[in-house]
């Protein structure tokens, strides 16, 4: 089996966002893993408007009508799994991340996801909301998650200095994610195999 391709999706476009250093840390922890290649996918590089497709993504990707949707769909289709790096805003994930997710359906389905959050209480509530969204999209989300506190993992709420315990937790997240990503790749391939 070829190496898995996993996107670390930076789910904030806010000026001065803390997510960029968190995503960079995740990529550094994933460097050198044999089973998968991890790449940054920054939502700032895909400036989607508020959802403007006239037909639900569940109706089929052949009905995507906007060029920005088609470009986003082509990018997401490249990956076997995702690590969502999300802030917590008002007890949930960021609007820009939810909007980017809502543009697509089939490109997410039968893949795997892990979650990394940050916020005043570690962003745990953002992850809980994302778990429900991923379930609806038929994405297998792993149990291990990383939650960084603005009070204990950031100095002056800006300089990222994660506690040492997060390093081992990150490796466990990657192990679970790669295991499920491989299994879900087999599910997708089986769906493409013609029935005799």
How is the chain classified by DSSP, letter by letter? -PPEEEEEEE----TT-SHHHHHHHHHHHHTT-SSEEEEEEEGGGS---S---SS-GGG-GGG---HHHHHHHHHHHT-SEEEEEEE-BTTB--HHHHHHHHT-STTTTT-EEEEEEEETTTTHHHHHHHHHHHHHTT-EEEEEEEEEETTTSEETTTEE---THHHHHHHHHHHHHHHHHHHHHHHHHHHHSPP-
CA distance 116 to 8: 10
Lowest mean pLDDT among 46-50, 150-154, 157-161, 192-196: 192-196
Query: Average per-residue pLDDT in the chain?
Result: 95
Q: Is the pLDDT of residue 33 over 80?
A: yes
pTM, full prediction: 0.95
Q: How many domains does the chain have?
A: 1
Q: Is the pLDDT of residue 38 over 90?
A: yes
pLDDT band at 196 (very low <50, low <70, confident <90, very high): low
The predicted model gives 46-52 an average pLDDT of 96
Torsion on CA atoms 178, 184, 186, 191, rounded to nearest 10: -160
pLDDT tens-digit readout, 83-128:
999 999 999 999 999 999 999 999 999 999 999 999 998 999 999 9
The predicted model gives 148-156 an average pLDDT of 94
CA distance 46 to 33: 27
pLDDT (0 to 100) of residue 193: 75
pLDDT band at 162 (very low <50, low <70, confident <90, very high): very high
Which residues does 78 contact at the CB level (< 8 Å), separation at least 6? Answer: 5, 7
Domain that holds residue 102: 4-192
Say which CATH number the domain at 113 has. 3.40.50.360
Torsion on CA atoms 91, 49, 52, 84, rounded to nearest 10: -50
More confident residue, 184 or 191: 184
pLDDT (0 to 100) of residue 2: 85
Q: Is the pLDDT of residue 195 over 80?
A: no
pLDDT (0 to 100) of residue 192: 82
């Amino acid at each position: 089996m070829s190496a898995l391709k996993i996107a670390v999706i930076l789910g904030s476009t806010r000026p001065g966002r803390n997510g960029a250093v968190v995503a960079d840390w995740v990529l550094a922890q994933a460097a050198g893993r044999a089973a998968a290649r991890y790449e940054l996918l920054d939502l700032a590089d895909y400036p989607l408007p508020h959802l403007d497709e006239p037909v639900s993504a569940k109706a089929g990707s052949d009905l995507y009508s906007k060029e920005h949707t088609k470009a986003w769909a082509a990018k997401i289709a490249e990956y076997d799994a995702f690590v969502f790096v999300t802030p917590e805003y008002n007890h949930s994930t960021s609007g820009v991340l939810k909007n980017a997710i809502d543009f697509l359906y089939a490109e997410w389905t039968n893949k795997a996801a892990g979650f990394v959050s940050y916020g005043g209480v570690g962003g745990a509530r953002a992850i809980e909301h994302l778990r429900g969204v991923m379930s609806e999209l038929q994405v297998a989300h792993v149990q291990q998650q990383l939650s960084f506190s603005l009070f204990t993992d950031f100095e002056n709420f800006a300089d990222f200095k994660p506690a040492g315990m997060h390093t081992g937790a990150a490796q466990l997240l990657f192990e679970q994610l790669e295991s499920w990503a491989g299994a879900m790749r087999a599910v997708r391939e089986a769906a493409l195999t013609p029935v005799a």
